[in-house]
Chain A
Amino acid sequence: MAGVGVFESYARAKTGPRVDENEWDSRIIPQTARRLKEKYGLKIDKKQIIPTDGQLINNIFRAGMEMLVECGIYCMDTKRVIKFTEEEVWRTIKTAPRRVILGEGRDAVTLKARRFDEKTPPIIQGGPTGAPVAEQDFIAMHEAYAREPIVDTIVDGVLQTINGYDPSPNTPFEIAAVKSEAMMVRLAQARAGRPGMAL
């Protein structure tokens, strides 16, 4: 890990500049974004959803980099800003993962870089994507996704109830629901004959 990483980020969240959250939301973020838009002369045409102008593409990146380095990340609990230098960001870019294996055995797929004009298609992660699913239908619905040959990995839904109870955040039922979701997706994948498929 050559970037800043989570532990150093947390350390900075305890020592960084103190900022009022309302100031962050209503002044720092919009004003910085607007200023960078003007600085780099950014103009997006909604009819050209994918840009072809190389200068626009690179200026968007430079503006985004500057946005992060200038603003940092606001930690809502400590009310402080986690700052990064541009050098730290570039170090992360240079050492970022180029490929990742998702899943196991014959059901594993490799997530690796592809170009925008490349004929290799992206990985297809199918599922309800966090949408609520009735408890009694959870396994069947996810098995239907796992049975789709074009689906490579699963992104699961959330149980609407667990044994009939509301799995509200920060309650014992939330923990039970999260564990059940994982078990039920594993079962759905196995029933579809794809036990090593990633979740």
Chain B
Amino acid sequence: MISADFPGGMRASDSHEVSQLNELKIDVGALSFVAHYVLAGDVIMCEQMPIFGGYAGGLEETTIVDVATHLTAFVMTQAHYHLDGPIHVRWGITTARESLAVAGHCARAIEENTPFLLANQYYTLAGPCTVMCLLETAAQAITDTASGRELLSGVASAKGVATNYTTAMEARMMGEVAHAVAGMETEKVNRILDELVGMYETNYKNFPKGKTFNECYDVVKLLPSPEYVSVYQEAWQILNKLGLKY
């Protein structure tokens, strides 16, 4: 937003966000933001979250629209990089199998045919301090890293809608998994992903909401609680068994 650009606020080297609308839409307000960013010499990040099961339709149709929105980010909004986020219409998350398949196929299609810089954002169903939240995060980090994305942005745990239901531990998981999987052959990645997603996708109707930042952290020392450290280790044990090492 333009009002964040001021001395002591956002700098030109920060990511200035503009959002496209679903599907293949824009409004004049967004174009006006971009005009400011362009003339100020700001880094521009164009975001769009295509909806699987929405206006476009199913897997293939949503992927086609996702590719088109990536192109639009650079043609119309002069983006330096694109922030994706295919979202599942029923669950409102980016970690569902279908969301991951759209993101994985779109990223490979764009990577193979353009030099565009690509990012993806994270919306999990489960909340902080739960194994499910960390496994959802891991699955998307694997998908994004192994499909050639350049930046991972997250995590909006618990769908990003509940106050204080996000912590740095989910970002730690996103980062560690990305580092662990980088360079892995695709066939092995797909085997791990299939098994990993299968571990949480049956829990959508009874997902754990998790705990707030204040419950997960010593908010003075800014250290995670022993309980969250234990949950985190449990999630990594599962990932280790699947073949990931960090």
How many interface residues does B have (CB within 8 Å)? 118
Q: Tell me the smallest distance from the CB of B51 to a CB of chain A, in Å.
A: 11
A68-112 interface code vs B (CB 8 A; 1 in, 0 out): 100111111110001010001100110011111111100010011
> Are the C-beta atoms of A93 and B166 separated by less than 8 Å?
no
- Complex Cα distance A64/B66, Å? 7
Q: Which of B43, B190, B197 contacts A50 (CB 8 A)?
A: B190
Q: Which of B144, B182, B193 contacts A120 (CB 8 A)?
A: B182
- Complex Cα distance A65/B60, Å? 14
> Are the C-beta atoms of B60 and A42 separated by less than 8 Å?
yes
Q: Tell me the smallest distance from the CB of B84 to a CB of chain A, in Å.
A: 13
In the complex where A73-B76, A113-B117, A125-B152 touch, is A29 in contact with B23 (Cβ < 8 A)?
yes
> Are the C-beta atoms of A126 and B168 separated by less than 8 Å?
yes
Chain B residues within 8 Å of A119, by CB: 182-183
A118-135 interface code vs B (CB 8 A; 1 in, 0 out): 111111111111111110
- Complex Cα distance A100/B184, Å? 26
Q: Tell me the smallest distance from the CB of A154 to a CB of chain B, in Å.
A: 9
- Total residue contacts A-B, CB cutoff 8 A: 381
Main secondary structure of the interface of A (DSSP, over half): mixed
> Are the C-beta atoms of B63 and A179 separated by less than 8 Å?
no
> Are the C-beta atoms of A129 and B115 separated by less than 8 Å?
no
> Are the C-beta atoms of A124 and B174 separated by less than 8 Å?
yes
> Are the C-beta atoms of A97 and B64 separated by less than 8 Å?
no
Chain B residues within 8 Å of A108, by CB: 13
Closest-by-CB residue of B relative to A182 is B9
- Complex Cα distance A64/B64, Å? 5
B147-183 interface code vs A (CB 8 A; 1 in, 0 out): 1111111111110111111111001101110110011
> Are the C-beta atoms of A129 and B160 separated by less than 8 Å?
yes
Closest-by-CB residue of B relative to A25 is B55
Chain B residues within 8 Å of A57, by CB: 105, 108-109, 112
> Are the C-beta atoms of B183 and A42 separated by less than 8 Å?
no
> Are the C-beta atoms of A122 and B152 separated by less than 8 Å?
yes
Chain A residues within 8 Å of B231, by CB: none
Asked whether B89 is an interface residue with its Cβ less than 8 Å from the other chain, the reply is: no
> Are the C-beta atoms of A124 and B152 separated by less than 8 Å?
yes
Chain B residues within 8 Å of A30, by CB: 55-57, 61
Q: Which of A34, A49, A71 contacts B97 (CB 8 A)?
A: A49
Q: Which of A25, A46, A78, A179 contacts B6 (CB 8 A)?
A: A179
Q: Which of A97, A126, A199 contacts B174 (CB 8 A)?
A: A126
The interface size bin for chain A is 35 or more
Q: Which of B112, B161, B183 contacts A118 (CB 8 A)?
A: B183
Closest-by-CB residue of B relative to A160 is B163
> Are the C-beta atoms of B67 and A64 separated by less than 8 Å?
yes
Asked whether A116 is an interface residue with its Cβ less than 8 Å from the other chain, the reply is: yes
Q: Which of A60, A118, A186 contacts B9 (CB 8 A)?
A: A186
Q: Tell me the smallest distance from the CB of A38 to a CB of chain B, in Å.
A: 9
> Are the C-beta atoms of B1 and A67 separated by less than 8 Å?
no
In chain B, positions 16-65 with a C-beta closer than 8 Å to chain A are 20-21, 23-29, 31, 34-35, 38, 43, 55-57, 59-65
- Complex Cα distance A198/B119, Å? 15
In the complex where A73-B72, A140-B219 touch, is A123 in contact with B171 (Cβ < 8 A)?
no
Q: Which of A73, A92, A133 contacts B26 (CB 8 A)?
A: A73
Closest-by-CB residue of A relative to B6 is A179
Chain B residues within 8 Å of A118, by CB: 148, 182-183
Q: Tell me the smallest distance from the CB of B236 to a CB of chain A, in Å.
A: 14
> Are the C-beta atoms of A3 and B186 separated by less than 8 Å?
no
Q: Which residues of A come within 8 Å of B, CB atoms?
A: 1, 3-7, 9-10, 13, 24-26, 29-30, 33-34, 36-37, 42-44, 46-52, 54, 56-58, 60-61, 63-65, 67-68, 71-78, 82, 84, 88-89, 92-93, 96-104, 108, 111-134, 137, 140-141, 143-145, 147-148, 150-151, 153, 155, 157, 160, 175, 178-179, 181-183, 186, 198-199
Top-6 shortest CB links A-B: A64-B67, A126-B171, A150-B175, A119-B183, A116-B148, A33-B61
